């Protein structure tokens, strides 16, 4: 028996880079939403149910986690542009 998947999309590699092109937010713990700076290039690592984004800010490492569905929504609306994730994985610009 197979398990159905929700919203199948092109499989992403385990590690790749992306660029923040629009309004992308993440939540720090139970705190308020914070913006990821537009123009920021991030390293993306694929986890079981989330995408881990990391970069440096003022010489300090920053690591945040987005749910896969949230990450895919940001990609589909053009707020995150995939880089080096293979052909056919970037969403078309609207």
Of 22 and 6, the structure prediction assigns the larger pLDDT to: 22
The pLDDT-based confidence of 81 (bands split at 50, 70, 90) is very high
Q: What is the pLDDT of residues 11-38, one digit of tens each?
A: 788 999 999 999 999 988 888 999 999 9
pLDDT of residue 77: 97
Residue 8 has pLDDT above 90, yes or no: no
Domain ranges of the chain: 27-83
DSSP 33-93: EEEEPTT-EEEEEE-SSEEEEEEEETTEEEEEEEEHHHHHHHHHTTSEEEESS-TT-SPPP
């Amino acid at each position: 028996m197979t398990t159905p998947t929700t919203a199948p999309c092109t499989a992403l590699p385990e590690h790749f880079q992306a660029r923040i092109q629009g309004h992308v937010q993440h939540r720090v713990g139970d705190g308020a939403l914070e913006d990821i700076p537009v123009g920021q290039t991030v390293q993306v690592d694929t986890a079981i149910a989330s995408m881990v984004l990391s970069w440096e800010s003022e010489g300090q490492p920053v690591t945040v986690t987005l749910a896969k569905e949230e990450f895919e929504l940001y990609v589909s609306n053009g707020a995150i542009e995939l880089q080096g994730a293979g052909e056919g994985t970037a969403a078309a610009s609207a």
